[in-house]
Structure 1
Amino acid sequence: MGAGFLGAAYLWVKAAHIIFVIFWMAGMFILPRYLVHHQDGLDDPAERERWELRERRLRNIILTPSMIAVWLIGLVLAVNIGLLEGIQGLAWLHAKLFVVFLLSGYHGWAVGYSKQLATGRATLSTRRLRMMNEVPALAVTIIVILAVVKPF
């Protein structure tokens, strides 16, 4: 199946997008849990250093590169199906892009909070931080429904 300017490469590009989404979401599911453990270990300098290292590796090797790939490939796919041409029936895509934008903001917040914890500053209660763990699951649920069901 070829579609738009991607032609026969469309399905390969779409597969790459899904692969990087999986990588990004794996990291987005684990980083908030790391933050809870990091915050709990702030009183132990050795524990704090271990969490800083784990979080930095996760950010630099998986999270941020995957998010960048998701955005780049996703935008190519969106343009390929007519995002910039005013094609009708793409309200689901606009909504999906908005939720991905919000998830990217959450990603930025989590990275920032990780760096804040590295300085020994915890500004959220453990309960609130644990509640923040659920944001990626809620976002990915909405994104998948929008992309698969295309409700509008």
Structure 2
Amino acid sequence: MSPHDGSGPKDAGAKAKTRAFIALAVFLLILGGTYVLQPDDFFLYVKAFHVIAVMSWMAGLLYLPRLFIYHTDAEIGSDRSETFKMMERRLLKVIMNPAMMVSWVLGLYLAWDIYGFQGGWLHLKIAMVVGLTAVHMFFSRAVRDFAADRPRGAASYWRIWNEVPTILMIVIVILVIVKPF
């Protein structure tokens, strides 16, 4: 594999970025088309798209620390370490960042349009989503640290962090479904 034959990791990264951009553009076109057409059950479409975005974001938040756990065992500079760097970067940039943004935009729209930002459960839910966003930002920094071969932390450290998004997700789902207050 030559660096000049278009088959290197940078070319693969550019292709992945292009595919992600196309997928996001298609998703936004479908969402925009739904908004323009304004079917009677428009808010159900928004809810569905919100759930899809949240599922994608959560998949990344649950998988990225697992990659960190495996990455800590890879020798710095090894092919394995470089592969983990690429996987972490792509997961963050191609899936997690767009999914988080769409989750926030649609979630805030639903909070405003359906609930008028009323309800203690909603305020607590938004606080938990702010917590998820903080975890996302923390993981983003870790991706940069791993990419720069900075100190990694032990696998046990990342195993603990792997549980944080799960706990926040459980609280959020209970708040949304039960609406306890």
User: TM-score, normalised on structure 2?
Assistant: 0.75
Q: Deviations over 1:5-38 (max 9, x none)?
A: 9963011101110111111111111001011111
Q: 1:129 to 1:114 in 2, by over 3 A?
A: same
Percent of matched pairs sharing the same residue? 36
Residue number in structure 1 paired with 2:82: 49
Moved over 4 A (4+): none
1:1-152 counterparts in 2 under 5 A? 8-84=41-117, 87=118, 90-152=119-181
> Displacement of 1:106 after TM fit?
0.2
> Displacement of 1:122 after TM fit?
2.2
Which deviates more from structure 2 when the two are superposed, residues 114-123 or residues 60-69? 114-123
**Letter aligned with residue 47 of structure 1:** R
- Distance of 1:80 and 1:71 partners within structure 2: 14
Q: Give the structure with higher Rg (CA).
A: 2
- Distance of 2:167 and 2:134 partners within structure 1: 14
**Letter aligned with residue 101 of structure 1:** V
- Distance of 1:123 and 1:26 partners within structure 2: 22
Q: Deviations over 1:99-133 (max 9, x none)?
A: 00001100110111111011111252221211111
Q: Deviations over 1:36-93 (max 9, x none)?
A: 1112114352111101110111111110000000000000000002435xx4xx1100
Given that residues 17 and 70 in structure 1 are in contact (C-alpha distance below 8 angstroms), is that contact kept between their aligned partners in structure 2? yes
User: TM-score, normalised on structure 1?
Assistant: 0.88
Given that residues 72 and 154 in structure 2 are in contact (C-alpha distance below 8 angstroms), is that contact kept between their aligned partners in structure 1? no
**Letter aligned with residue 70 of structure 1:** S
- Distance of 2:67 and 2:83 partners within structure 1: 11
- Distance of 2:87 and 2:81 partners within structure 1: 10
Cα-Cα RMSD: 1.7
Which structure has more RCO (C-alpha within 8 Å, separation ≥ 6)? 1
